[in-house]
Amino acid sequence: MDVSVLTAEATRVSPLRRVTRSAATTPGRLSVIAVGLVLLTLVTGLFGALTLQTKQDTLDDLVDYREPLTAAAQLIYRSLSDADATAASAFLSGGVEPPALRARYEYDIAQAGAALGKASADVGGDPLAEEQVTVLSTQLPVYTGLVETARTNNRQGFPAGAAYLREASGLMRSKILPAAEKLYAIDFDRLKAGQAEARSFPWFTLLLSVGLLGALVATQLYLTRKTNRLINVGLLVASIAVAVALIWATVALLVSSAQVADGERNGSDQVDVLVQARINSLKCRADETLTLVARGDGPGYEKEWKELAPTFTGDGGGNLLRQAQSLASSPALSGEVKQAVENADAWAAAHRKIRELDDGGQYEGAVAMAIGNAPESAATAFGKLDKNMITALNAGREEFFIQTKRGSQALTALVPGVAVLALLAAAGIALGIRERLREYR
């Protein structure tokens, strides 16, 4: 074989052979161990810091972004449903509607528009959410136009006003409110997904950290056998740094997860139960007034009332208000929901009286019972009920914010702390093994 070929082959192989021969010696093995431990430490520290930062970002997103958007979607439904019921109540007043009812209707529409603008900022990339926002944006002006036409006809005493109002309410109930309810469900599901992510434990990072700690202990045992020296200061410092980071991160994550779980159980889950009860109560309030507007031509409204009323009245297991009372995290909140239960039952009693009067041919008395200001009227009871639920909803949201914020605070300084401890551990490894290598020179 050509000499030049043999020389080139020897040149290519010699570095590999040198490395192999070096690794076969104790100094060589120590060098390989040092490089491997330093790389494992840096990778573990980087991965851990990124994981913890992601966790922190998720918690901040829940408080600053995700929950407020869910509340905005809920507000869209509440405002539009209340606007529909208020428009019907104003219509029942006859002629020029009371200024208070008119102002309430206009406020509801404005509030729904503002909440829709906020909620629409988060629909990008979600076709289902975009579809609901499109329905709300395009159909709401049609609804308000129909209500204005009904109002104009009613002021002039034309019977067509009732037909326009029923058409407006039909549009609201068949397209607008279902879209608002779906949008709320989408946002609530996203909130739940964020909470699940915030509660999850980074097991892979834990395994990396435990593996690194085990490697450090094994290396120290190896050095003890080779050098007959019990302690290597550099590796001991590295081990302590990794152990501190591991314990700190584990405790902080467990505390954070517990706080997020409390915020979910006592905050967002309770709020969702109250939201569902409020949605059903708002539907029933619209049913109650629209039955009177229809004047015998609206049996479907009363049928829906009877189907939905058990979800917020009575002693049945399906009473959402009683479920919310059992979930209450404080005596004050429990007392507020208890008042809501009592006011819901009072409203149900007033509704039965309305039907008795209307079915008995006393239409004017039924209207007065439905929209009057008397203490025993349906309007009074419903107003108290809605106020109770608003107060309870706000308390539930506050509980969510407090607990989730505490979960975020439990991770304070953890990311930079883990990064610093990882660098300290890497430095300890390098210095500790370097001292042993010097002994072989």
Closest CA to 293 of 105, 86, 148, 88: 88
Residue 385, Cβ neighbours under 10 Å: how many?
26
**126-135 contact pairs (CB < 8 A, 24+):** 126/186, 128/182, 128/186, 129/183, 129/186, 129/187, 131/179, 132/179, 132/180, 132/182, 132/183, 132/186, 133/179, 133/183, 135/175, 135/176, 135/179
> Using one digit for the tens of pLDDT, what is the confidence trace for 252-282?
999 999 999 999 988 888 889 998 898 899 8
Structure tokens at 243: 């152990």
Distance between CA atoms of residues 333 and 330, nearest Å: 5
- pLDDT < 70 stretches in the chain: 1-24, 26, 94-96, 124, 228, 296-298, 437, 439-441
Q: Backbone dihedral region of 413: left (phi > 0), alpha (psi from -120 to 50 degrees) or beta?
A: left
CB 322 within 8 A of CB 312: no
pLDDT of residue 203: 93
Can you give the pLDDT at residue 24? 54
- Angle, nearest 10°, between helix axes 160-171 and 67-93? 170
Q: How far is CA 198 from the centre of its chain?
A: 11
Report the distance separating Cα 54 and Cα 50, nearest Å: 6
Q: Are the CB atoms for 272 and 257 separated by under 8 Å?
A: no
CA distances for 136 relative to 67, 267, 290, angstroms: 21, 28, 22
What per-residue confidence (pLDDT) applies to 441? Answer: 56
pLDDT of 90 reads 82
Tell me how far apart the alpha carbons of residues 352 and 364 are, in angstroms, rounded to a whole number. Answer: 15
End-to-end CA distance of the chain: 40
Q: What is the mean pLDDT of the chain?
A: 86
Query: What is the CATH number that goes with domain 73-192?
Result: 1.20.1440
Q: What one-character-per-residue DSSP string does 274-325 give? A: HHHHHHHHHHHHHHHHHHHHHTSS-HHHHHHHHHHGGGTSSSSTT-HHHHHH
**pLDDT given for residue 1 in this prediction:** 47
Are 314 and 348 in contact, with CB atoms under 8 Å apart? yes
Structure tokens at 14: 């010699």
- Residue recorded with tokens 């851990």: 48
- pLDDT value of residue 439: 67
Residues in the chain: 441
Q: Residue 334 has what pLDDT?
A: 85
- 128-172: pLDDT as tens digits: 999 999 999 999 999 999 999 988 887 877 778 888 888 998 899
Q: Which residue has the tokens 């030049």?
A: 4
Which two tokens mark 426? Answer: 């890497």
The pLDDT score that the predictor gives to residue 16 is 47
Instruction: Measure the CA–CA gap between 98 and 238, rounded to whole angstroms.
Output: 76
Are the beta carbons of 106 and 100 closer than 8 angstroms?
no
The first and second tokens of residue 234, run together, are 């550099």
CA distance 327 to 188: 18
The residues, ordered by sequence, that sit 6+ positions from 242 with a Cβ below 8 Å of its Cβ are 41, 44, 209, 212, 213, 216, 421, 422, 425
Query: Can you tell me the distance from the alpha carbon of 432 to that of 223, in angstroms, rounded to the nearest whole number?
Result: 10
Range 363-367, long-range pairs (CB < 8 A, 24+ positions): 363/292, 363/295, 366/292, 367/92, 367/292
Structure tokens at 405: 């914020």
Stated pTM of the model = 0.81
8 A C-beta contact, residue 34 and residue 433: yes
